[in-house]
Structure 1
Amino acid sequence: MKLQWETYLWTEPHPVDSWVLDRLEQQWKVKLPELYRELVSAYQGMGPAPCAFDVGTGNDAFSVLLIVSDDREKEAYSINKAHRVLEPHVPAGILPFGLTPGGEYLCFDDRDSPGQPRVVLVTAEMSIRPVADNFTLFMNGLYSG
């Protein structure tokens, strides 16, 4: 099934310049997956369809791709704010990129494979659950729930 992006935070796309992502990589001291850079550059603040993914013994949904550009009105969906929320509770190298309908965070886990991080879900209880071996597999595995 072909992935489509639906409006979530805004009624139209808000593209991101590559220098904003370069700055984020420098700030986090990571190399973001190329597919993520492409998608967030075009679709920040939007939600994928289909959006369901498997985690543990059940499934969840990918609601929105966190925004990397500065927008005070949408700060609740900011990747930097999400990182500040998670940072005291999770190991270094867990980096948020998306939200679920329940407010849990989809994150890159850059601890064991820098440059090709795994995808994990950080629950409301701050437990870390594996989702996919990499971002490409995660995106390709989204399905209608």
Structure 2
Amino acid sequence: MSEALTWEYRKRPIKDSDITRVEIVTGYKLPQEYIDLIRRNHGARPSKKRFNTQKAKGVMLKTFLPITEEYDVNLLNVREWLKVPAIMVPFASTPYGDYLCFEYFSPENSPAIVLWIHEKRVKEFISISFGKFLQDLY
């Protein structure tokens, strides 16, 4: 049996209005599994921190981005700073300044998970869904 995912360094709890604000600004509906997770673990760090991309094994995750404006480094600010393609919404960071993003192919579909490599301005595929991404963390 695999070890359960635990979380530390949670930020203050979020409100429904915080989620709505992100969805309005980005133009995309956040995955329900992500919403459920950030309601319990807003801006937290998971106990399992490694994931694989289509090109790299053992990439390290640092933290999930807070979504509220009270934190300078938050999902919407990072999206603006990075100038990621419009179909991407960053939700977590690596220790190296790269970001995990939701990649939407249409506003109503569940997004894929990709790694945005900021220095090269390229993406690497990680997972077909947020739930699968969480399952695959090690």
Q: Structure 2: where are the runs of 5+ without partners?
A: none
Partner of 2:32: 34
Q: 1:19 to 1:115 in 2, by over 3 A?
A: farther
Paired position in structure 2 for 1:67: 66
TM-score computed with the length of structure 2 as normaliser:
0.89
Q: 1:26 to 1:112 in 2, by over 3 A?
A: closer
How many residues matched?
Answer: 134
Contact 1:18/1:41 (CA < 8 Å) preserved in 2? no
For residues 90-101 of structure 1, the aligned pairs below 5 Å read 90-101=84-95
Q: Amino acid of the residue matched to residue 58 of structure 1?
A: K
Q: Matches of 1:2 and 1:113 in 2, distance apart?
A: 31
TM-score by length of 1: 0.85
Q: Does the residue aligned with 2:52 lie in a helix, a strand or coil?
A: strand
Work out the CA distance in 1 between the residues paired with 2:32 and 2:106.
18
Identity of aligned residues (%): 26
- Aligned match of 1:131 in 126, 129, 138? 126
Contact 2:27/2:107 (8 A) holds in 1: no
Q: Would you identify which runs of 4 or more consecutive aligned residues in structure 1 move more than 4 Å?
A: none
What is the rounded CA distance, in whole Å, between the counterparts of 2:81 and 2:51 in structure 1?
23
Cα distance in 2 for residues equivalent to 1:114 and 1:18? 19
The aligned residue for residue 4 of structure 1 is: 6
Q: List alignment gaps of at least 5 residues for structure 1.
A: none
Equivalent position of 2:77 in the other structure: 81
